[in-house]
Structure 1
Amino acid sequence: MNTSRRQFLHRLALSAVSLPVLPTFANNFTQFTEPSSSDQPMLRVALMGLGSYAERVAKAMQQCKHAKVTALISGTPSKLDKWGATYGVPEESRYNYQNFDRIKDNPNVDAVYVITPNALHREHVIRAAKAGKHVICEKPLAISVQEGQDMLDACAAAGVQLLVGYRMRFEPNTLAVVKKRMAGEFGAIRFFQGQCGFVAGDPNQWRLDKALAGGGSLMDIGIYAINGARYMVGEEPIWVTAQETKTDPVKFREGVDETIQFQLGFPSGAIASCLSSYNIDFLDRYFLSGEKDFAEMQPSTGYGPIKGRTKAGDLKQPHVVHQTVQMDEMAQILLQNKKPLLPVDGKVGLQDLQIIEAIYRACETGERQTLQLRA
């Protein structure tokens, strides 16, 4: 690892940045408690990148029935010590970014959850795969289609599975709408709208660094609208148009998008109109319109509870912490070959990257881009 990357990881570990639009997570740790016993196998997870989102995942996993934290990977020794004591992770299962390849010799790890900046995903996923561990990678999968394909190829070569942290694909109210659509209750789908955005704070955060984030709002928050359009409409888009708006070129430098509007077209004739922004608050809404019914969800992608309604009334599925549900479901996918209602494998992440690249091309050229997602 070169000096600049080492310095970046150290800086990131010292001051992780959380998403302003989402609820702030408490900084204090609570003592780890062993999940309830189960006859089912337990997924043993190494968390990589101990920032604010990893903290959210670790705390949520205390309530998991099928997954637990058994190893830690960080560039900050003090975090390894603190987290190790909190979550009962022994010193021999604590790694830094230079030596974590040794995890291949740790029988107490089944999967590595990569929660590092976007530009580091490729390296970290490939190294984890070569160590013989399944990999869960936070979204976006990578910063380019080529990097994403490299990651899929590496996992396939190693005989391990690659999943992407699309927590909304397990959220109960979201799935209730998807099931209604699958059952034909909406009739033919005509329109989807996805609005995702917040005002990005610290101008020095890594999410506003093109080299580390791979872009701007679209890579971080707009991907929810992209992914949501796919599972809400139930089809894959075949074309995209897009327009970029930038009001603050100092904060949002070249290659870091501030606000993008994009439109997707689907084989049936359904269309999607979406908005992704780092400079507009309170954007967290999905709207689905069919010939027989509609679904409106607001908030639609925040940490919850997710709320919504259809013609029949309010969505009433109970709220469970998203990361708890996600990790329990992923444990069953990896260990028991469970087939989720909505897939979360690396191919889904790669397809989102194809759409993202097409959106950026549409912004640059002003022309409609044809899509043919990789099967």
Structure 2
Amino acid sequence: MSNDNNYNCCNRRKFLKGMGLATGGALMTSPLYSFMEAAAGESGKPLKSMGIALVGLGRYSTNQLAPALQETENCHLAGIVTGSPSKAEVWKSKYNIPEGNVYNYDNFDEIANNNDIDIVYVVLPIAFHAEFTIRAAEAKKHVICEKPMATTAEEAQRMVDACNANGVKLAIGYRLHFEPFNKRVMELGQNKIFGKVKSIKAADSSDMTGGSLDVWRLDKERAGGGPLMDLGIYCVQGAVYTMGKKPIAVKAEFGEITHPAYFRDVEQSVKWEMEFEDGVVAECETSYADPEGKKLLSAEAENGWWKLDPAYSYEGKEGETSEGKMDFPNVYEQAIQMDSQAESFSKNQESIVPGEMGVRDMKIIMAIYESARNNGERVEIQY
């Protein structure tokens, strides 16, 4: 995750309390609404709240996930895993976490004996996703793994296999599947509201220049790659859920490196095309050196168009179509995401963003890298 804006708690609570006032019917079919109905059940009794342990206490856990877990209904913050004793003390005090629910990376496997913890949420640098997902699965805990799922498609498949072998569920932290602007894009594209999709554009960029050189996202060993892994995956996702189908081939090229001190190890930028079987092409780009910080997802269809800009930020999303502006609230998507994933786990059902989706996306990303390394050669994606 690349955005680290703090979320306004008052706005979160206002939304969660005032869902019924939302314009239109989109939220009435949202994962949170479905959860609230399902949580009551026929007996009117709520489902058991599932305990989540956050593995890694970086900015995303600190600024987004832990606060979100104070707003959830179907899950709660039950434990932490960190290599920093000082962080552990702060979190124990702030969130009233018992000493017995605090682990480090060495004794993590002991979590198998902790009945307070049902779900492990892996929020580490990408190179560690596979190790801790597999260890969590072997501890018989369900897993949510942050995006991108792994550094390679083969590694991602091992994660899925480990969860299947141990009888636990695996979901990926694809939060945009749980918020109304991107859900509306899925409906517009997949249900052909404006006719068949003709073309797609997606861009997700940030500017990491001017800051510290000592960040894990610029270290290929820990990050697996550069902006394509961290931000470009949103473009991959956006194009795929607009179409509701997998691309068949890609063409890609790396951008010029204009900040060599920062991009010695990972790419500075990438542009690529994703080709779908019906001739639709998604033009995509991502960069770690873009002062504009583009966050676009748009599409042209036979009888109209739509655009989200920004599309991927934690808050402040805006959207419009050829018929006018999209009228949705900006929701607390991490809270909705985790509630929905916990609900599916509690019912022994697959998440709407399962591990297999993460494997698919890694295969697409690996094909993009292959094409870029080969000067834009068309690469067919092998699923």
Task: Give the TM-score band, short-chain normalised.
Answer: 0.7 to 0.9
Deviates more, 1:213-222 or 1:37-46: 37-46
1:354 lines up with 2:336 in the alignment: no
Distance of 1:194 and 1:67 partners within structure 2: 33
The structure-2 alpha-carbon separation of the partners of 1:338 and 1:130, relative to structure 1 and needing over 3 Å to count, comes to closer
- Partner amino acid for 2:381? L
How far does the alpha carbon of each residue in 1:320-346 deviate from its partner, in whole angstroms, 9 at most, with x for none?
Answer: 112111111111121135666xx3111
Structure 1: gaps (5+ residues): 1-17, 27-35
Distance of 2:205 and 2:334 partners within structure 1: 21
Aligned pair count? 344
Aligned residue for 1:165?
Answer: 173
Aligned residue for 2:93?
Answer: 85
Q: 2:200–2:239: 8 Å Cα contact kept in structure 1? A: yes
Distance of 1:42 and 1:65 partners within structure 2: 7
Q: Percent identity?
A: 37
Distance of 1:274 and 1:76 partners within structure 2: 38
Structure 2: gaps (5+ residues): 9-35, 40-44
Aligned residue for 1:51?
Answer: 58
- Partner amino acid for 2:258? T
* TM-aligned CA deviation for residue 88 of structure 1: 1.9
Match of 2:46 among 39, 45, 48: 39
1:215 lines up with 2:225 in the alignment: yes
Aligned residue for 2:307?
Answer: 296
- Partner amino acid for 2:102? R
1:369 lines up with 2:375 in the alignment: no
- Partner amino acid for 1:356? I
1:170-181 mapped onto 2 (5 Å cutoff): 170-181=178-189
What is the CA RMSD across the aligned residues, in angstroms?
Answer: 1.9
* TM-aligned CA deviation for residue 182 of structure 1: 3.2
Aligned to 1:296, what secondary structure does the other structure show? strand
1:283 lines up with 2:294 in the alignment: yes
* TM-aligned CA deviation for residue 270 of structure 1: 0.8
Distance of 1:136 and 1:125 partners within structure 2: 8
Q: 1:22–1:302: 8 Å Cα contact kept in structure 2? A: no
How far does the alpha carbon of each residue in 1:149-190 deviate from its partner, in whole angstroms, 9 at most, with x for none?
Answer: 111111111111111100011111111221233332121111
Distance of 2:155 and 2:186 partners within structure 1: 30
Distance of 1:371 and 1:100 partners within structure 2: 36
1:101-112 mapped onto 2 (5 Å cutoff): 101-112=109-120
Aligned to 2:294, what secondary structure does the other structure show? strand
Distance of 2:323 and 2:66 partners within structure 1: 37
Aligned residue for 1:10?
Answer: none
- Partner amino acid for 1:63? E
Distance of 2:189 and 2:380 partners within structure 1: 26
Aligned to 1:279, what secondary structure does the other structure show? coil
Aligned residue for 2:5?
Answer: 23
Distance of 2:330 and 2:269 partners within structure 1: 31
The structure-2 alpha-carbon separation of the partners of 1:40 and 1:24, relative to structure 1 and needing over 3 Å to count, comes to closer
1:269 lines up with 2:284 in the alignment: no
Aligned residue for 1:247?
Answer: 258
- Partner amino acid for 1:64? T
* TM-aligned CA deviation for residue 22 of structure 1: 4.9
